[in-house]
Amino acid sequence: MTVLSIQNVSCVYPAAGKAESVHALKNITLDIDSGEFVVALGASGCGKSTLLNMIAGFIAPTEGEITLKGQAVTGPGADRSVVFQKHALLPWLNVLDNVAFGLKIQKKGRAERERIARQFIQLLGLEKFEKSAVYMLSGGMQQRVGIARALTCDPEILLMDEPLGALDALTRERAQELILKIWNDTRKVIFLITHSVEEALFMGTKLIVMSPRPGRVSHVFDLPFSKRYLETGDARAVKASADFIALRERVLELILVDDEGTGHE
Ligand SMILES: Nc1ncnc2c1ncn2[C@@H]1O[C@H](COP(=O)(O)OP(=O)(O)O)[C@@H](O)[C@H]1O
Ligand SMILES: [Mg+2]
């Protein structure tokens, strides 16, 4: 079943001051089915965040339409949760209250808030830190708190914009595995943006490779690797397998072509 449908979506940021208008996305069409894990990969500036922000309802398409379960997306909603690279936790609250915060906004009572929050605290392996102040936690643990919070409102789709970009290599690998287990347990649709080809191939069931100026989807690949990891539990073996390496090199070539000569933002 199609959960999210992106139909011929374009985005032009209008000219402002001395800056010219930017054609950030052109004719994006993509259907995302229930249970899918879609990963968007591409050079800096190819419109990945713009696309995610449109799905989230933070910005409206200039042309085209996005529908969630048949309903047009016209603004943010509890059916879509966003996890950013830099967590947006409330430093004066402990882990439990941070995870429960969205439920408080939804005006749920304390007992129910804490019951739901504890389910996700457990899912993310944070039980021992329930009462800890979030600023005391490592970056990887803070990101886990952010993911737990995003899940509490039971969204149809979890949107993640480079959620692991700030983590060191080892923590990042553990976090990839944890997110895959959560995806497998909750069967949520996930849309994740990353700069890392290896991360994209390892995590997604579907990879969209984007190209810049104007931002568009240049290639789509179905991926077998996350399933293989969930069956075997051996992430290194999956990442070292011949078909993984072959596809990694192929996709790297695709995005390196786009990255030539473009500065970083
Ligand atoms: N608010 C904005 N106003 C004007 N241009 C923007 C704005 N946000 C992004 N852009 C431009 O749109 C293009 C796509 O940006 P973005 O979606 O952030 O790409 P990515 O996430 O792939 O790096 C870039 O050229 C960027 O400079
Ligand atoms: Mg971005």
| For ligand 1, atom 26: residue with the closest CA | 45
Q: How many domains does the chain have?
A: 2
What residues flank ligand 1, with Cβ below 6 Å?
13, 22, 24, 42, 44-50, 215
- When pLDDT is cut at 50, 70 and 90, the band that residue 165 belongs to is confident
* Alpha-helix runs per DSSP H in the chain: 48-56, 95-99, 101-105, 110-123, 139-152, 169-186, 197-203, 225-232, 235-239, 242-259
| Residue 236 belongs to a domain | yes
Q: Does residue 26 lie within any of the structural domains?
A: no
The number of the ligand 1 atom at minimal distance from the alpha carbon of 25 is 14
Structural domain boundaries, residue 108:
85-154
User: What contacts 12, CB < 8 A, 6 or more positions away?
Assistant: 21, 22, 23, 24, 62
Final residue of a domain: which of 95, 120, 154?
154
User: Do 121 and 187 fall into the same domain?
Assistant: no
Residue-wise pLDDT for 151-160, tens only, equals 998 899 999 9
Residue 104 CB neighbours (<10 A):
14
> Which of 49, 162, 218 has most ligand 1 atoms within 8 Å of CB, for mutation?
49
What is the per-residue pLDDT for 260?
60
Residue 19 Cα: closest atom of ligand 1: 4
Q: Are residues 251 and 201 in the same domain?
A: yes
The token pair at 225 is 């690797």
Between the CA of 22 and the centroid of ligand 1 the distance, in Å, is 8
Q: Which two tokens stand for residue 192?
A: 């994740």
Residue 23 lies in a domain: no
Mutate to test the pocket of ligand 1, among 10, 11, 13 (most ligand atoms within 8 A of CB): 13
What whole-number distance in Å separates Cα of residue 150 and Cα of residue 147? 5
What predicted TM-score, i.e. pTM, was given to this entire model?
Answer: 0.93
For 69-105, the pLDDT digits (tens) are: 999 999 999 899 999 877 688 989 999 999 999 888 8
- The CB density around residue 234, as the number of other CB atoms within 10 Å, is 12
One-letter amino acid at 29 equals T
What is the helix, strand, coil percentage profile of the chain, to 5? 40, 25, 30
Question: Is the domain of 89 the same as that of 215?
Answer: no
Q: Is the pLDDT of residue 40 over 70?
A: yes
pLDDT of residue 168: 87
The pLDDT of 184-209, averaged and rounded, is 96
User: CA-based angle 216:200:43, to the nearest 5?
Assistant: 40
Q: What is the pLDDT of residue 166?
A: 83
Q: Are 225 and 117 in the same domain?
A: no
